[in-house]
Amino acid sequence: MITDDLGEPFTPTTRPRRVVSLVPSTTEAVALADPGLLVGVTDYCTHPPGLEAERVGGSKYPKIDRILALRPDLVLANAEENRRADAEALRAAGVAVWTSFPRTVPESLTSAAAMFEHALRLPEPAWIGEAAELWREPAPPRVRAVVPIWRRPWMVLGAGTFAGDVLRRLGVVNAFEDAAEPYPRTDVEQILAREPELLVLPDEPYAFGAVDGPEAFGGLPCALISGRHLTWHGPSLVEAHGLLSRRLADALR
């Protein structure tokens, strides 16, 4: 039996012709392989630039009626970005749904390969093998860091996240790796109590920047990085390894 990342049975049919993607990284992957397949994407699907497809709302609250009006034969979702209730509503309406849920870089590549083989019925793209080679050997631990992902309230990367595994493979020890949840709420005092040596600030989901984030931590060394390269589990993984490595190295000089 073929199943997606959540163990939901998936019955292969003919190759889909009308696909809706509710995941920005998956949208990028499909668009690079066969842009003509995409009839609907979320408001947050920004890559590749200039993508022509109907916008169906946000990842958390997509407009189900708009998706169904597009008559898709496949919807691509993610367990963390999308709600199970929406996937169930689409299945109840007779639409096939493939849900991904990678929590490590290797899982993301295995997941993508399975999606292309079973759901999209397309050849495996070259970027999967390229990314596997780049990320194969984790770097030794070199710096203890905290990774805020939201402000007001402060939230940070905790345990068992894809982004946490990306950083671990670049030698970053997550100061909140022992947290009981993936994205714990905290405050500046608790963050500093973890004695981080580095602050890693992505520009999504919260748009941290040079004057919004670093000033709260009293001169702690800071790496401002692309959220797309930290959290997207798609073709961006190829350039992410070198780009993130350079940003981290620059912050520690």
Spatial contact of 90 and 75, defined as CB atoms under 8 Å apart: yes
What confidence score (pLDDT) does residue 79 get? 96
Q: Which amino acid is at 189?
A: E
- Of the candidates 83, 80, 84, the one whose C-alpha atom is nearest the C-alpha of residue 182 is 80
Q: How many helices (H) and strands (E) does the chain have?
A: 9, 12
Spatial contact of 212 and 202, defined as CB atoms under 8 Å apart: no
Find out if CATH 3.40.50.1980 is the number for domain 19-133: yes
What confidence score (pLDDT) does residue 98 get? 97
Domain ranges (residues) in the chain: 19-133, 143-251
Do the two domains 19-133 and 143-251 of this chain adopt the same fold?
yes
Residue 222 belongs to what H/E stretch?
A: strand 222-225
What confidence score (pLDDT) does residue 13 get? 78
Q: pTM of this prediction?
A: 0.94
**Whole-number Å distance between alpha carbons of 156 and 154:** 7
- DSSP bridge pairs for 100: 78
pLDDT averaged per 10 residues, the chain (length 253):
93 90 98 95 94 94 97 97 96 96 97 97 97 96 97 96 98 96 97 97 96 94 97 97 97 89
Q: Which fold is adopted by the domain 143-251?
A: Rossmann fold (3.40.50)
What confidence score (pLDDT) does residue 140 get? 96
What confidence score (pLDDT) does residue 120 get? 97
